[in-house]
Structure 1
Amino acid sequence: MSHKNISRRTMLRGACGAAMALPWLEAMGTAAPMITSANSTIARKAAAGPPVRMAFLYVPNGMHMQDWTPSGNSETKFELQKIMQPIADFRDQMNVFTGLTLDGAFAHGDGGGDHARSVASFLTGSHPKKTNGNDIRNGQSVDQVAAERIGHLTRLKSLELGTQDSAQAGQCDSGYSCLYTSNISWRTERSPLAKEINPASVFDRLFGDDDGPQLDPRSMARRERDRKSVLDFVQQEAKILSNNLGVEDKRKLEEYMYAVRDIERRLASTEKLDENERDVPDAPRPVGVPAEYGEHVKLLFDMMTLAFQTDSTRIISFMYSNAGSNRPYKNLSIKDGHHNISHHGGSREKQAKISTINHYHVTLLRHLLTRMSNVREGGGSLLDNCMVVYGSGIADGNSHTHKDLPICMFGGGGGTVKTGRHLRLKSGTPLTNLYRSMLERVGAPVDKFSDSNGIVNLS
């Protein structure tokens, strides 16, 4: 394995079906050529280095907008408010958008159900059919548009993650199927993609051997009993590879393997949620998932980082909770359900609690951004080669409004996104315009997506 010709798909393989994808190394050369688009400058620039990835992070029940929207009238000279203070260090690597609208989430004559519509529309831009039966209809989501076009370049077309299971049936919001409230990723207008909520299962997907022999039940039991690290299985190949790498790539490989072992240790030691736990009355989590919500989110964010770092996938969606989640946040001394207090009715006490929950979610986001920024890749970081959208399909949870949404994006899109800005767009600008701009940068350009009527200029 000469450092001049290491394939992007090189994997370290070991006994018992263990396999490890590698992080992007200088020895692998440039990323696969991007699909050309109308804006060939963007395509060429993104194709010159590591692959460009995108992730979509959804938070439920809207935002306390007074503590979200940056102050100041300048695009580049703005002040972050309380909710985004935990990520102030990433101010120069983010764009905050004001004016984006999710038209598909409005009632359009269908009455109640804003929470269901806000989730179903968030990545599709579509207006879901109001039904709790089998005749669901929504639209293809932006992540799956990308997966259709570039998913063949990676082991996994996409990853769908979250902290609460995706429902298979039932009524959850004013006549809307629970399928709408618990899925943001839709392969087709009738086929939502269920989320994986167990970090250990995600780890197995990333480091299982799709091509080699699979672990038989006896080997799996022995490995679990011995807490054998995947690194122990592949260490011989890793040593051979390291001997053929340059200094910088050796450092990257060492950091990557340290990160994998650290996550394995945390997965092995994490306290599990008791099956009778009822802290989340609307959707209890099964045994095998971390008991503490914050640790659960952080472990899934670590899985996201590894998935991007190893180019196992370039497309990820994540839900902090399902629509209308009534999770209490006892770690914040908030015993009330999140959904209940989002209907604050003007109560200052409830608004303060909503702001505190919003602030906490951003604190968890900081973990992901920190992890990604610490991974060196090309001439910058993994975050520099990503586009991470964070936000909700509802602005104020009390009024259920779907315009001027709380949306921000992190990362440089492989050098194609100008960051450090508060972009004040014309009120009513479709959120799908932003998605069109992102699709172009990952190599999956479209002339129109859902209700888009243009693009958001990110350059």
Structure 2
Amino acid sequence: MNAVSRRRMLISGSTALMLPNLESNLHAARGSSAGIPKRLVFLTMGYGVNSENWFPSTDQVGTEYDLPPLLESFGDLKSDFSIIQNLTNQRLAGPHAGSQNFLSCASLGKKGDGNSVSCDQLAAQVLGQDTRHSSLAIAGSRWRVDGHGSYVSWSPDGKPVGTYEKTSAVYTALFGTGGKAAEVLAKIQRQQSSLDAILGNARRLNGEISTADRHRVDEYFTSIRNIESRLSKAQDWVERPYPTAPFPQPPGRIGGKEEIELMLDMMVVAMQSDSTRVLSYMIPTLRVLQSLQTRVNPHQMSHKASGDLDPQSVHQRRDRMLAELVSGFIRKLKNTKEADGSSLLDHSLVAYGSSLRQGHGTSNVPLLLAGHGGGGLMQGQNIVCKPKVTPLANLWLSMLRHVGVQTNQFANSDRVLTEVGFA
């Protein structure tokens, strides 16, 4: 069987990742799960978008609306997504908290410390029971540079969920490192022993330091506990083969929009192989700016570009490139077929948005919801909610209920979004 290069795969963006040498491996990895699973994807950008060119007119409610200039790349997908206006993350401590509570809508307080469970992790408790990874939380660069704050995914105990920060790390998580099961198990056990020793030292250290330092040490060792949790689940899966990798392992850092594109491609494979059903990705805006060959940093741009509508300005080109990357991802989901002939997009929900607009605005956050979630939704709309009083948490509650999480409340939610067809 001939190998197919990554370049060839990316060139054929309209046909996604449906390669002959993947068909048997990817569907075999699905295991004995009954029916086709639902999947959730959360894509967050750091410093938001220019609302003048990103949102449709509020006078064009429903399906008959004109796509705004910055979303023109979604034109052929119009029946597969909706734009939801006037959602507000009312508990955001301030614009510099970034994405920290985007998926939790937790009350961060003045310092922005701590958090509560994020919606992706609640979904992972239901959707992640039969997959190699309960969820994948991906961060593409140093968070504060991109306006993401700290983490976006938070465990039920309010601790940050460890993120995969390099393309090579995501690749290893999805396709393994090779080796026989006994060798892999021995390696996992060695890593667990090392972590046990580190955590033991941490407990002794906590008795010898100040309260303030203890908080910092606890934050550090949270990442160790996250690794320990991953290793525990990896041990349960050691006898089950990884799906075949569709391209060689990439370097840790690629840079530019190519790095984002590769991450999104691997996310498609993760969903198609049923390696996970819940993904979050803190998109690295700085990588886009690198591709645009500008030295303007994301934070500076967010402060100064709120009124500039010149199509050739840096922030407009950035927003357009982000939209092209995300629409390309959604297009691949639509063109990647399930065993019954339906598509990944038919059974997935993809939320793309931010806690901010340009100019550091925190109300009416940009939010695009794509996918059909297994059916029952009414996509293709420009939905305009009541301004300033419609919590972003309403969307997360709606999505959680749609995938089987038994709850009537999430954070400060007050209803499900029936406008989209949620019940």
The size of the alignment, in residue pairs, is: 340
With over 3 angstroms needed to count, the CA separation of the structure-2 counterparts of 1:370 and 1:137, relative to structure 1, is: same
SS for the counterpart of 1:452 is coil
With over 3 angstroms needed to count, the CA separation of the structure-2 counterparts of 1:101 and 1:306, relative to structure 1, is: same
Query: What's 2:149 paired with?
Result: 181
Q: In the alignment, is residue 309 of structure 1 matched against residue 265 of structure 2?
A: no
With over 3 angstroms needed to count, the CA separation of the structure-2 counterparts of 1:415 and 1:200, relative to structure 1, is: same
- Structure having the higher strand fraction is 1
The 5 A counterparts of 1:16-415 are 22-24=25-27, 31-32=33-34, 49-71=35-57, 73-105=60-92, 107=93, 113-116=94-97, 118-131=98-111, 136-165=113-142, 181-188=149-156, 190-208=158-176, 212-214=181-183, 260-261=245-246, 263-264=247-248, 267-268=249-250, 288-290=252-254, 292-321=255-284, 329-344=289-304, 348=308, 352-377=313-338, 378-395=340-357, 397-398=358-359, 400-415=360-375
SS for the counterpart of 2:320 is helix
Distance 1:127 1:327 in 2: 30
SS for the counterpart of 2:412 is coil
With over 3 angstroms needed to count, the CA separation of the structure-2 counterparts of 1:338 and 1:149, relative to structure 1, is: same
Distance 2:386 2:263 in 1: 35
Question: Would the aligned equivalents of 2:153 and 2:161 in 1 still touch at CA under 8 Å?
Answer: yes
Q: Which runs of 4+ in 1 moved over 3 A?
A: 19-25, 129-132, 214-217, 325-328, 349-352
Distance 1:383 1:210 in 2: 34
Shift of residue 345 of structure 1?
A: 6.4
Query: What's 1:281 paired with?
Result: none
Shift of residue 346 of structure 1?
A: 5.7
Residue segments in structure 2 that go unaligned for 5+ positions in a row = 1-21, 188-239
Question: Would the aligned equivalents of 1:21 and 1:312 in 2 still touch at CA under 8 Å?
Answer: no
State the AA in 2 paired with 1:90: L
Distance 1:388 1:353 in 2: 26
With over 3 angstroms needed to count, the CA separation of the structure-2 counterparts of 1:328 and 1:432, relative to structure 1, is: closer
Shift of residue 140 of structure 1?
A: 0.6
Out of 403, 416, 421, the residue aligned to residue 381 of structure 2 is 421
- For 1:39-92, what per-residue CA distance to the aligned partner results, in whole angstroms no more than 9, with x for missing partners? xxxxxxxxxx41110010000112100111113524011111111111211111
State the AA in 1 paired with 2:362: H
**Relative to structure 2, which stretch is displaced further, 349-358 or 181-190?**
349-358
SS for the counterpart of 2:37 is coil
- For 1:12-43, what per-residue CA distance to the aligned partner results, in whole angstroms no more than 9, with x for missing partners? xxxxxxx9994347x978x54xxxxxxxxxxx
Distance 1:129 1:179 in 2: 18
Shift of residue 332 of structure 1?
A: 2.2
State the AA in 2 paired with 1:182: S
With over 3 angstroms needed to count, the CA separation of the structure-2 counterparts of 1:20 and 1:128, relative to structure 1, is: farther
Question: Would the aligned equivalents of 1:100 and 1:429 in 2 still touch at CA under 8 Å?
Answer: yes
Distance 1:370 1:153 in 2: 26
Distance 2:262 2:287 in 1: 19
Question: Would the aligned equivalents of 1:436 and 1:445 in 2 still touch at CA under 8 Å?
Answer: no
Distance 1:156 1:198 in 2: 17
With over 3 angstroms needed to count, the CA separation of the structure-2 counterparts of 1:381 and 1:347, relative to structure 1, is: closer
Distance 1:411 1:163 in 2: 24
Shift of residue 102 of structure 1?
A: 0.5
Distance 2:396 2:48 in 1: 20
Q: In the alignment, is residue 455 of structure 1 matched against residue 423 of structure 2?
A: no
TM-score by length of 2: 0.72
Shift of residue 194 of structure 1?
A: 2.5
SS for the counterpart of 1:97 is strand
Query: What's 2:216 paired with?
Result: none
